[in-house]
A and B are shown apart, each in its own frame.
Chain A
């Protein structure tokens, strides 16, 4: 794999086609966890981690199902296997690194049902990425998610102190800010091309 291609996959997944800001994936945690910076950062790292795990799983499942000639089981297997894998990893972390578990643990179940994770599996399959490409893609998507989440958290902490008009308060405001962030990320278009 040449480096250019990998770096393009990374930049594309993290900035140009940011999962949250361009594909609207993971909006729920994006809106839910971006209230405070500390949680946002930890959540971001948890997502990167889960993305890498599930990307690996999805690559395995896809190869296996190709061999079995059973593409119709793909969706179900993705869901089931990713959920179980994350659960296993969670138990593993809990056992071997309680500190890490305390940092990421509470987010892991939340992430498992996150559409960004499933979408990652579906996208990488649709794009026919190789294993290395899959990992880079997962890393890019996770980093992109984290960047969006952290930027959002900073802005929302600032807005906590603002005199927001009543009508705008709540989800509407967060969605609008996400829209502006999404616009700003358009500046990255064409990078690495």
Chain B
């Protein structure tokens, strides 16, 4: 019974939403979607835009995949998912261009690269193709929020340290010396590394406490 994909599909489970925020956070815990996580987080606005765009694609593709899950034959499912995802990414790409060309320019090709973000295909394959539309939506929302939150964590640290600003507003003293490395690629690696360290540390401590 429990093996069956649609077994628990009838009810909505808010855990599907919560898990993406922390326990199964796509960036900090699952370490997925590293490319956008590192590449576009040199400022908060980029991080948020990227987070939202990814969430949008994630939600829409999860919805569509989940609602079509009985229709799509197993053999062609991956191809179909990619098709769906690529379409939504194209949509997101145009919408961002229409909203702000500056943001679009600073994100560059990374909007289009959402297509190959493993989180999206991963959720479609691992969750949406086996669960109800409602739960898939919750899952996508959770993952999206978790992803955006992670990007914000990185973007926030990097923009504040690297530029002394948050969302473009000066939050530190006017004489603050920016750590330019933080908005360089190296800083991206180091910030993510530091966050992962923190999560590792917290997890280790929790394990230790629960063992006692």
Interchain nearest-CB distance for B87 vs A (Å):
7
Interface 1/0s, chain A 4-44, versus B by CB < 8 A? Answer: 00000000000000000111111110010000000000000
Q: How far is the CA of A21 from the CA of B118 in the complex (A)?
A: 19
Q: Does B73 contact A (CB under 8 A)?
A: no
A75 touches B90 (CB 8 A): yes
C-alpha spacing A25/B184, complex, angstroms: 15
Q: Which residue of B lies closest to A83 (CB)?
A: B82
Measured in the bound complex, the distance between the Cα atoms of B90 and A22 in whole Å is 25
Q: Does A161 contact B (CB under 8 A)?
A: no
Q: Is the interface of A mostly helix, strand, loop or mixed?
A: helix
The count of A-to-B residue pairs whose CB atoms sit within 8 angstroms is 104
Residues of A in contact (CB 8 Å), total 39
Would you give 26 A-B contacts (Cβ < 8 Å), ordered by A?
A22-B185, A24-B185, A27-B38, A28-B34, A72-B94, A75-B86, A75-B93, A79-B86, A83-B82, A113-B121, A118-B113, A119-B109, A119-B113, A166-B204, A167-B197, A167-B201, A168-B197, A170-B196, A172-B193, A173-B193, A175-B189, A179-B189, A180-B186, A182-B184, A182-B186, A182-B189
- B residues with CB within 8 A of A: 31, 34-35, 37-39, 82-83, 86-87, 89-90, 93-94, 108-109, 112-113, 115-118, 121, 181, 184-190, 192-193, 196-197, 200-201, 204
* Top-4 shortest CB links A-B: A179-B189, A172-B196, A27-B34, A24-B38
